[in-house]
Amino acid sequence: MLPHATTSPPANPWLSWEYVQRNWHDLLTALGQHTSLTVQAVLVALVIALPLAALAHLRPRLAGPVLGTTGVLYTIPSLALFGLLAPYTGIGRTTVLIGLVTYALLVLVRNILVGLQGVDEDVRDAARGLGYGRARMLLQVELPNALPSIVAGVRLATVTTVALVTVGVVVGYGGLGQLMFRGFRSRYHAEIMTATILCLLLALAFDLVLYLLGRALTPWSRTVRDG
């Protein structure tokens, strides 16, 4: 009786270290593009969202139109938005960046406004008693007290933006989405899975960094929770 032939298990088509070794330069380039787009989009959106939310807070009649406008922009499908922007802003980074900023605005404006509106009225009364004007109260009392809500909004907007960057592949600038698209076209499962895992890890890394930053910026909130 002949001995059984020993065969090695088939290679996993979805996970391949060999693919990573052979394409590490492409992976790093796509990851760097993905990271820079995310950071830039969230920072630009935050710069726009802060004065919008502050205006809506100081002028409550404007809260509805501001939230309504950002809400309408958020409902536009990403593929359609990039397609509408491309004829005017061209193919590439600018088009993707405008779209990402547009989608991040609703999350940021809403969270900032909720944080400002949620400041304890007793804190405001104490500030008025100390002679704080409206602008000084906003900058030195309300915004610092709204930081937990603002940080939560930035975390949500950042994670959402990491996912949306991949859609930028439709205008030729999608970071890790470029590799996913290339993998789908060539049916190379390892390329799709590697890019997907890197995208998830990037989102987790951003969220962890922002969580730690939020704890560092709001030490009083930890004291309240511990108490």
Give tens-digit pLDDT for 107-164.
999 999 999 988 888 888 898 888 888 888 888 889 999 999 999 999 999 999 999 9
Task: Work out the pLDDT band at 226, boundaries 50, 70, 90.
Answer: low
Where are the chain's structural domains?
A: 25-217
Task: Determine contact, residues 79/170, Cβ cutoff 8 Å.
Answer: yes
What separation, in Å, do the N-terminal and C-terminal C-alpha atoms of the chain show?
A: 76
Cα–Cα–Cα angle for 162, 50, 173, rounded to 5 degrees: 30
Whole-structure pTM value: 0.86
Task: Reply yes or no on whether the pLDDT at 169 is more than 50.
Answer: yes
Give the separation between CA 110 and CA 71, rounded to whole angstroms: 10
Task: Work out the pLDDT band at 223, boundaries 50, 70, 90.
Answer: low
Task: Reply yes or no on whether the pLDDT at 224 is more than 60.
Answer: no
CA 78 vs. chain centroid, Å, equals: 14
Round the average pLDDT of the chain to a whole number and report it: 86
* Superfamily (CATH H level) for 25-217: MetI-like (1.10.3720.10)
Task: Work out the pLDDT band at 12, boundaries 50, 70, 90.
Answer: low
